[in-house]
Structure 1
Amino acid sequence: MAPARLAQKAGITVKYRQFGKTNFNVSEVSLGTWQLGSKWGDPFDEADAQNTLAAAYDAGVNFFDTADIYQDGQSERALAKFIKGKQDKVFVSTKVGRKLDPHVASGYTAANITKFVEESLTNLDVDALDNVLLHCPPTPVYYEPEVFFTLDQLKKDGKIKNYGVSVERVEEAMKALDYDISAVEIIYNMFRLRPADNFFKMAQAKNVGIIARVPLASGLLSGKYTLDTTFGKADHRNFNRHGEAFDQGETFSGVEYATGVKAANELHERLGLDQALAPLALRYILMADAVSTVIPGASKPEQITRNVAAADLPAFTADQMAIVRDVYNKYIKNPVQYKW
C-alpha cells in the first residue's frame, strides 16, 4: 500500500495512501478533531475551528476524523461549514454510538444506529456520509451481526458510503474483519506495537483501511512531559489515568505516567535525536505500510505544519526500529500488550 501520489504544499511533500477499499487516496498525516475549536474544558470557538481546518487543508490534509459527540456535534457542524464546495476533495470519517447513556451493547439497536447516522448527516450537511465508525462499542457488539447488517442496509439506502469500527482492543479489530467493513481505527504508536504483530496483515488481506489514532500516546511521545507536568481539571490526562471515566487505554495509551515519561526520555536519548520526539513518533507509525493515515490533533496552524512534515522525514533504520521495540519490551509490554 505505497503512497499513491504526491502534492507540493508550502515546501512540504504531502504523501497520500489508498484508503483500503474506498478507492480514496488520503493524506498520510491527517487531522483528528477531538479538540477542534476548543481545548480541554474550554468553550467551543468557531473561528479557531475554521482556522485549524483551513490550515490543515492548505497543508494538503484531505482526511478529517470526527465524531458525533465531539463538542456535542459542534465538531461535525464546523466540518460541514468548511467542506462546502470541497466534498469531492476531502474525506470525512465520523463515529457514532457514544451518545448512548449508558454505553452498553444492548443500545446498539437498528433504531439507535439509524438515528445517530441521520443526526450526523444533518450535522455534516451531506446526502451520504463518507465513512461511519462505531465508536469503540462494548466487546459483545462485535458478536452481534445484526448491528453490522444494519450498517449494510444503511449503505444500500445510500446514507453511508463506507463503514467500520473504532476499537479499544486488537481482538475487537480482528473480529470486525468478519464483516464488510472498510476501515478500522486503532491505537497504534511507539507504546502500542501489538496491532502490527498480526492484525495489520489480516486487514491488508481484506483491503481494509487503517486509521492510527492516539499517535503520541496523549502527548507522552512528544517528549515534552516531565514528572512535574500538570494537566487541567477537565483534561482526561488528569481524571482518567486509571480508567475512571472511560477506557484507560485512551489516556497515555494505558501506560503508567511516570513509566511513560521514562520510556520517552530513553527513546529520545537512544535514537540520538537533536529534535523533538513527536515527528519521529509520527514517522514511526508510517513505517507500517498497512496504515492508511495517522490522525494527530492540532490546535494551532504551526502544529499542523509540523505534523504533516513528519511524513517527509527519513525512514527508520533497522537499528532504530530495534531500539523502539527494545524500549517497548523494557517498559511498556507488560502490562499494555496483554490488556489491549
Structure 2
Amino acid sequence: MKVDYIVVGLGLAGIAFCEQLRQAKKRFVVFNNASQQASLVAAGMYNPVILKRFTEVWMAQKQLDIALPMYQGLEALLGLQLDYKMNVYRRLASVEEQNAWFTAMDKPNLEPFMAPKLVKNTNDLINAPFHLGAVQHAGRVDTAALISGYKAYLLKNKQLLSASFNHAELKQRGTEVSYTDIRAQHVVFCEGFGMAQNPFFNYLPLQGNKGEVLTVRVPNLHLKDAIKAGVFIMPNSDTDYYVGATYNRFDVTNTPTQKGKDELLRKLQVFLKRSPSILKHEAGIRPTVPDRRPLVGSHPEFKQLHVLNGMGSRGVMIAPYAAQALYNYIENKCPLNPEIAISRF
C-alpha cells in the first residue's frame, strides 16, 4: 500500500491532522490502539478566557477561527451534532473578584469574550451571592461522539488500523518511509502521553497531567450553560452534567481515584446546593509541556517524521490550529510559530 501519510493516534490532534489531509485529498492511514484516553474522557469545553486569572487564552481568537469551522464541517461529514454552544459563567466569590472582572473586561483582547454586565443568579440550586461573569463564544465539543464517529468513518473508508504502532519496524527508504507493507512520504505522531515510548521524539519535555471528571445527575438543576468556580459543571443532557477537572502531575495512570472524586465533590459543593448522584467517574492523562505550548514540527534528523502533541487541557481549541500549522509547514514550507516549534527545545 502506498499513501502520502501515516498518522499515529486518533485523539483530538490526530483527527485535526486527518482533516487537513482529507480536505487536501491526501492519501492516509491511521494507526490507533486506543491506549490514550485524554481526548476520549475530556469534557470538551472550549473557553477563550482563563477564568482563574481573568486572562486571555493564548491566541484564543485565532484558535476559534480555525477550530469552529472544522467542527462544523465534521458535523456535516459524520451526521452528528458535536458543537454545543453555551456561555461559561464564572462564579464571582467577592466584591474584589467583581472588580477584577471589570478590569479584565476592558482589555482589548478580552472585551469580545467577557460580557459587560454581571448576571444575577436565579437558579435556586446554585449559590452565587456575588453574581456571575459571562464568557461568550464558548461551548462544548462532544469528544466521545467525535472520536467514535470519526473511527467509523475511517473504518468505512479502510483508513483505520486498530493496532499498536511498533516504532522499531519503521524504515527509512530515501525520501520515503516504510512500515510493514505500507510506504509513505510522511509519518505524523499524535500519540498524546504515549509519546514517552516514541524513540524519535521522547527527548521532548512532555509531561503527564492526570485529569479526573465525573458525570453526575442533579434533578431540577435545569442548567443550560457551564458554571466555573474551582471546578466546572457543564450540561451533558437535560439531567446529566460533567464535573471537572483535577490536575495531578504525579499519577500517570488512567485509573480514577477516590481522592480525585472527593476533590471534585468538595469543590462542587461550594456552590451547588444539592448533592449529585454520580453516574460515571473517568480519568485520562493530558499531554502537557512546561511552557504550555504544543509540540509541533519535524525530527531534526529524520525529516519525514513529524510530531503533533502537547495540547494539554485545551485540545478542543488548540489542536485544529496546531494541525493546520504542521500541515502548512510540511506541504507548503510555511514557517512554524516559534512558540510551538519543537526547535525551541
Assess same fold via TM > 0.5.
no
More helix by share: 1
More strand by share: 2
TM-score, normalization: structure 2? 0.29
TM-score, normalization: structure 1? 0.29
